[in-house]
Structure 1
Amino acid sequence: MIPVPAAAPHDPYAALKIPEFRLFVLARLCLSLALQMQAVVVGWQIYSLTKDPLSLGLIGLAEAIPAIIVALYAGHVADNNNRKIIILTCVLVLLACSVALLVYTLPVSRGVLQQFGVWPIYLVIFFTGIARGFNNPAVFSFMPQIVNNKQLYGNAVTWSTTTSQGASMAGPAIGGLIYGFWGVTASYTVVVVLLFLATLFFLLISAKPLPPSQGRLPIKESLLSGLRFVFNNQIILSAMSLDLFAVLFGGAVALLPVFASDILHTGPQGLGFLRAAPAIGSILMAVFLTHRPVKINAGKRMLLCVAGFGLCIILFGLSTNFWFSLVLLGLSGAFDSISVIIRSTLMQTLTPEHMKGRVSSVNNIFVGSSNEIGAFESGFAARLLGVIPAVIFGGCMTLLVVGVTSWKADKLRRLHL
């Protein structure tokens, strides 16, 4: 009998051994830190000016609408143009938007907010949404070109997610603390510095040639091809849909300034820790998954984790204890991390290289923008039902979505990686 060679041992740090991937991770860390800090500062600033939970939802809407509008075209651009140039352009636009927010806080410009209210801030967030709409497909499709080894995609996705969630953990806490102790101007100054560093790290990564394709399609056909690919693949479609509705209805993050101010009474410092709690759970789970990647029963685990996320949101809505709320948000982040990593790994491995920008753009419509649309839904529901009933309703809807998806998407339910 011919002996079967032993499988190569799993290396949890394989992707990090690639020098340009390390630069990519550092750039994403600075970019995510900046955007997370900016989100918590803008949320607290606008709520302090308006005292209206709906105004928090409008922040998400102001960013989601332009991102959705440009999404399909952004995917087409990412698949047909130098992805590094796209990323650098988008980061520079984000840098300019953060500089504008900083300028609004200076004495010379405070009359702008006094005259027009918070609408100038919403306008800046609108342009931020456009930049993020173009940036996300380019970053998603640029990463596999840096790794250049399909066997490492899962490991690279896990580390990229870990970095992003680590920034989500630290960013809100840092933003809340700086805002609480040194004010809004200092907070936006740190954001500007981080975006400048992200620009430098992206500059150090060499440009990559576009992957070969079957020829340049007419723009209409190119825009629709990503949609066709997703809707003809039940596994990717059901995974995207599950995250879409879970985030749409189960996101309580947009209402955290209300909980911090009026329910848990913690101030901006506490808000930073509340915003960081889901990312703490997420990064701990992501680090665990680098050593123990999900392979068997991945679909069932994804469904169970989204259900666990919904249950945590319901209990968070009922909690009046700051520490218990932190634990629940941390658990929600851990459950969400598993779902995100499975979905991202599926997209990277099942999507052809020359279509990754367009498929990523569809994902941004489904999932990326659902965070912002979910923020609007949460703010609207809070205005209509009250803050606590709105959060409980969202968690219950998440559980309902899991049940329907489990019933309808049999391929996802039986999925193994």
Structure 2
Amino acid sequence: MIAPRLRLVLTMLFVTVPLATVAGLNEGLLPISLLLIGVPIVVGLFDLVVSIGRYRTLEFSFPEVIRGIVSESAQLEIRGKHNARKNAVARLGVVFPDGLEPEREQERIPLNKTAREVVVRLPFVGRSRGRYRIQDLYFEWNSPLKFWVHRERRAIQCEVRIYPNLRFEGKRVARFLTRGATGLHARPQVGRGREFEHLREYEQGDSFDEIHWKATAKRRFPVTKIFQLERSQEIYVAVDTSRLSGRPLPEPFSAGRTRKMTTHLDRAICAALLLCVAAQRQGDRFGFICFSDRVNHLFKARSGPSHFNTCRELTLSLYPQSVSPDFGEIVATVKNRVKRRSLIVFLTSLDDPVMAEDFVATVGLLSKQHLVLAIMIASNQLQPLFSGDVVDNVDDVYLKLSGHLRWARLQNLQRVLARKAVQFNVVPNHRAGIDLVSHYMNLKRRQVL
């Protein structure tokens, strides 16, 4: 695309209008006026011909994948190759999709005749988790006399992956994790270990129930069994992506006067990834489950950075769905595919009476084999009376009463699930990650698995 610049328009305006006026008043000056009017026209056409295709050989290269974190700055690095004969400046612009906010709309590219390659970095900030594609790039250059501007569009393929931000909650969770020294724990363990380690000779003070009688009979002297703390347990995090997961929640770590909003699903994903990090640091294996009206994904429990990256990549494609969860389906799937006794953590919403009834009716089959922990992230209104701020108007009174009734219903649900050997806890929004890891560490300390 070629367009005239303001310089050409003003030049033609200040030259053509006076000369046309003089030619209209005096017909004898008509040939001279036409000749003078033709001079800027010829110069403009010459400038246009010279600039056509001047930088069309400019080639751009992009990284195939860019990784960033929500609310943190990332960079799009663009490399351009050119064969400019003179020093010049071009302008470049990239069309960012919704969810990515660039710091600058345009960037100037210095084209130096001594350097055939130029590197441009466009900073941007990802506002929400997910995968994004950058497909359009626009650049423009001016003609030598700056009468014309040439614009071109290039089709590109660049994928941007924005991961959940675990930095703020991760600092708080770090104190629950094991330290670098062998055998040093952030919290003391309760009782002896339950996992067999090795045999040793009997020593005074050993309990009789720790004697290995077969080894004693074989060796003809007392042999004691030594136990160690439970290691390499399997932890599964089941994230609910049904209709209630799309409800808005205030972002607890947003800065500024305006409070940004997120969803229950985003907060559940952050808490789930923090639990995976904690399980890996404790030496346990962790798996990841996503379900709605069916089990969408089930990653078997493993350990290591590559498995964590696989689970984190999965979270980029998770979005709330307009369906109700089928707890019977996930219970049947887990019983069929997870044979070893494991800790199953459900991150779901049970304030809907129908969903709570369905969960109570089906989770008993799972709790007979596995240790089940259900976690619900509470909104700001879900709390008992007289525990929040002062009421300002009548509408707040009804809002507080509604939150109290839902809180009382969840307390009753907690007692019902306790009779089925299921632990149910309601955690506040700003402490979702740290409370989830705290519950997990308490179970590890008690060696319930």
**TM-score calculated relative to the size of structure 2:** 0.24
**TM-score calculated relative to the size of structure 1:** 0.25
More strand by share: 2
More helix by share: 1
Q: Which protein shows a greater Rg?
A: 2
Q: Which has the higher contact order (CA 8 A, sep 6+)?
A: 1
